[in-house]
């Protein structure tokens, strides 16, 4: 069974009538009277704004990278193993919710 059997065929009139303007140039009556119009939804505008923000944001925050390098070189950088374990468990639990 074809999908087309369920959808009624839409017949369109593909004829375009030509009209002469004041200068004698031909123009389409359909496009000169109606014209094309595009509307962008608010959601699409938000997506475009976010893309612009992301493109202008650097991939690396060099100030943070430099501060961490200095802490490591001085020996002041310490890792809290409990915090790392908590983050690992939270990540594991959040992923397991999607697996169900």
CA distance 17 to 30: 8
Name every residue whose Cβ is closer than 8 Å to that of residue 30 and which is 6 or more positions away in sequence.
16, 17
More confident residue, 100 or 66: 66
33: exposed, middle or buried (C-beta count within 10 Å: 0-12, 13-18, 19+)? exposed
| pLDDT 10s digits, 35-89 | 788 787 888 888 889 998 888 887 888 899 999 999 999 999 999 999 999 999 9
Query: What's the longest Cα–Cα distance across the chain?
Result: 83
pLDDT band for position 99 (cuts 50, 70, 90): low
Residue 95 has pLDDT above 50, yes or no: yes
pLDDT band for position 11 (cuts 50, 70, 90): low
| pLDDT 10s digits, 26-46 | 444 445 567 788 787 888 888
């Amino acid at each position: 069974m074809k999908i087309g059997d369920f959808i009624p065929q839409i017949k369109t009139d593909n004829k375009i009538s030509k009209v002469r303007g004041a200068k004698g140039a031909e123009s389409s009556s359909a496009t000169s009277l109606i014209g094309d119009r595009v509307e962008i939804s608010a959601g699409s505008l938000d997506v475009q704004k976010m893309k612009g923000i992301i493109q202008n944001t650097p991939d690396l925050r060099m100030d943070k990278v430099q501060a961490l390098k200095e802490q490591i070189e001085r020996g002041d950088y310490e890792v809290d193993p409990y915090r790392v374990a908590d983050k690992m468990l939270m990540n594991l639990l959040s992923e397991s919710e999607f697996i169900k």
